[in-house]
Structure 1
Amino acid sequence: MNVSFGAWALTVAALCVLIAIDFAIGRKPHDVSIKEAGIWSAIWVALAVAFGLGLLFLEGGQPAGEFFAGFITEKSLSVDNLFVFVLIMAKFAVPSQYQARVLMIGVLMALVMRAGFIAAGAAIISTFSWVFYIFGAFLIWTAWKLVQDARHEEHHEDYQENKLLKAVERRFGVADRYHGTKLFVLENGKRVMTPMMVVMLAIGSTDVLFALDSIPAIYGLTEDPYIVFTANAFALMGLRQLYFLIGGLLSRLVHLSYGLSIILGFIGVKLVLHALHESGVHVPEISVPVSLGFIVLVLAITTTTSLIVSKKQNTDSATPPR
């Protein structure tokens, strides 16, 4: 899809306006209700659907299908990210009224950094077609690791600060308590970070690690940087509301890791087949409609089985022993 500079500028400007509106509404620290989270989640999903339908009308079925496949994949991967966000919030004891602000800034940081990943990925792919072999192998390995972690119940057990975050804490120092929404304060004449700043950096830097999975995954569905960027943007910008909307359901999605591993493995195989095709080897390629249908089917099955198993476990635990 040939996207002009003007279209890129208009898209980024529109996203900035939406972000500004979202920021203005959530400017005052408060506890986010289920109703508020539900309304804004519906708005972001509706905007994504409207954007996809706009692509369908203006560019045809192929770009629209790639966008929806990418959006659904990124959205499902972002749900997995929420497990870690819950652990980060607990580790840093973030007061409930400040959690929305933390997620808003953290997600905004992640979006800016992901734009860099997307640009780099587009440049590499356009120059080195063999990189699809690497992307495919990496996704297949990630899928296998997800399965192993899920089988041994090691997935998302604890959050450990990364080396970069620890280095920043040593360099600037950290205050011993929250100071509202302030990011820096003066203590004994020295400017130090507040825990609010630390947790925002934790959210943002952690999402960069998640991008190592999600960016190759979406490039397995489309090679168009514009679609990759917009699918990531819509998936990320609804993440804050999704955190509050399904936070209580996360522990019930017991099969989510299995579903994501199947999806990542599927896209990994798709990337390898595409790389072989580009190398002149006559192999079948997986179409966008097949990819979209497969992703939706896997998510529907794993969500359903997760809720059934969780309900059964709750029923068994509530039944008194005889």
Structure 2
Amino acid sequence: MNVTPLVWVITIAVTVAFFIYEFFAHVRKPHEPTIGESARWSAFYIGLALLFGVGIGVVSGWTYGGEYFAGYLTEKALSIDNLFVFLIVMTSFAVPKAYQQKVLMIGIVIALILRGIFIAVGAALIENFTSVFYLFGALLLLLAYQQAFAHGGGDPADGRFMRFVRRHLRVTNEYHGDRLTVSRDGRRWATPMLLTIIAIGFVDLIFAVDSIPAIYGLTEEAYIVFTANVFALMGLRQLFFLIGGLLERLVYLAQGLAVILAFIGVKLLIHALHKNELPFVNGGEPVTVIPEIPIWLSLLFIAATIAVATVASLVKTRGDRRTPTNDRQSTDVTGGRR
């Protein structure tokens, strides 16, 4: 895939322009978005992402187009999981709904910057050390295990890192609008809003470790990695307010993501064997006994896994909600069963 420096400059400039517009048009004035506003913008950004993928397929071929769509689906699913943790953080810090947009916007920008750094580092490693695919594959298998069995194991707003931050910052007990710091008695104090932003940034760092090796398991094209991440993050703020309570109903999302990460981890290890240069593995020669997983199969597997995890989550939570209702309906006014 031939991507010129000019294309890179234009892509980054348009990305920055979109986020600047988002801030001045929607975030600068604190408010809670309506369902209609969130739905329209979510549809716009998802449509734009799909249109961009079609453009890649038409211009550069559908192998790259398939890589983009597989990467976009994976990053979108990971981003929704990211939103769930954002929700936990904002609930822990009792962020007023009017200010949640600003927290989300800053969190998304931090995520994009961190992922941009990781993308550049990943591209450099792949260019110079093909054996890094072994490392990425092993890392994804470890992350898949943690995602499946250790998800939600603590409050990210009250972990060791945040306790360390609290010990070294003077923090007010109350919010002061959406300000990050305030002056009191000639001294600068942090507000709970600043603590929330720090916690969100720390969460973003952790998620970037999941995100970048996962998408490099689907494509080696840095441009596709970058644009898939950009489009996955665009509209995430509106999606948060659109799906609202639905986040808490996606009870099997962690397990679905674990399956996807494990699948990509295996795919990476197979790819590493095909490019093998390690002298202690097959004498430094490539191992091609197992065929590589084609991108169409990756795309199909990822889409099917997300669909199954979502449907299973909604069916289970609907059943859980119905059980108490059915119990009440089957009890008469005297307290006896009918």
Q: Answer yes or no: is 1:244 the counterpart of 2:238.
A: no
Q: Answer yes or no: is 1:159 the counterpart of 2:181.
A: no
CA apart distance, 1:161:
3.9
State how 1:220-235 maps to structure 2 within 5 Å.
Answer: 220-235=217-232
CA distance in 1, matches of 2:133, 2:212: 12
CA apart distance, 1:165:
4.4
CA distance in 2, matches of 1:4, 1:236: 24
Q: Which amino acid aligns with 1:88?
A: V
> Contact (CA 8 Å) 2:56, 2:64: kept in 1 or not?
yes
Q: Which amino acid aligns with 2:108?
A: V
Q: Which amino acid aligns with 1:264?
A: L
Residue of structure 2 in register with 1:102 after alignment: 103
Q: Which amino acid aligns with 2:207?
A: F
Residue of structure 2 in register with 1:288 after alignment: 295
Residue of structure 1 in register with 2:283 after alignment: none
CA distance in 1, matches of 2:145, 2:34: 37
Q: Deviations over 1:3-38 (max 9, x none)?
A: 111111100111111111111121210012211111
Residue of structure 2 in register with 1:209 after alignment: 206
Segment drifting more, 289-298 vs 233-242: 233-242
CA distance in 2, matches of 1:234, 1:122: 19
Percent identical pairs in the alignment equals: 48
> Contact (CA 8 Å) 1:173, 1:193: kept in 2 or not?
yes
Q: Deviations over 1:31-73 (max 9, x none)?
A: 1221111111111111111211121121111221111111100
4+ long deviations beyond 6 Å: none
Q: What SS does the corresponding residue of 2:245 show, helix, strand or coil?
A: helix
Residue of structure 2 in register with 1:305 after alignment: 312
CA distance in 1, matches of 2:261, 2:146: 11
State how 1:171-210 maps to structure 2 within 5 Å.
Answer: 171-210=168-207
List gaps (5 residues or longer) in structure 2. Answer: 277-285, 332-336
Segment drifting more, 169-178 vs 47-56: 169-178
CA distance in 1, matches of 2:104, 2:158: 17
Residue of structure 1 in register with 2:53 after alignment: 52
Q: When the two structures are superposed, what TM-score results if normalisation uses the length of structure 1?
A: 0.94
CA apart distance, 1:155:
2.4
Q: What SS does the corresponding residue of 1:191 show, helix, strand or coil?
A: strand
CA distance in 1, matches of 2:9, 2:162: 33
Measured on the aligned residues, the alpha-carbon RMSD in Å equals 1.6
Q: Answer yes or no: is 1:258 the counterpart of 2:255.
A: yes
Q: Which amino acid aligns with 1:39?
A: R
Residue of structure 1 in register with 2:321 after alignment: 314
The alpha-carbon distance between structure 1 residues 58 and 207, as it changes in their structure 2 partners (threshold 3 A), is same
CA distance in 2, matches of 1:253, 1:259: 10
CA apart distance, 1:176:
2.3
CA apart distance, 1:237:
2.2
Residue of structure 2 in register with 1:76 after alignment: 77
CA apart distance, 1:168:
4.3
> Contact (CA 8 Å) 1:175, 1:187: kept in 2 or not?
no
> Contact (CA 8 Å) 1:83, 1:156: kept in 2 or not?
no
CA distance in 2, matches of 1:226, 1:166: 38
State how 1:76-155 maps to structure 2 within 5 Å.
Answer: 76-149=77-150, 155=152
Q: Which amino acid aligns with 1:194?
A: T
CA apart distance, 1:317:
2.0
Q: Which amino acid aligns with 2:123?
A: A
Q: When the two structures are superposed, what TM-score results if normalisation uses the length of structure 2?
A: 0.90
Count matched residues.
318
CA distance in 1, matches of 2:148, 2:108: 27
CA distance in 2, matches of 1:237, 1:200: 19
Residue of structure 1 in register with 2:267 after alignment: 270
CA apart distance, 1:145:
2.4
Q: Answer yes or no: is 1:62 the counterpart of 2:69.
A: no
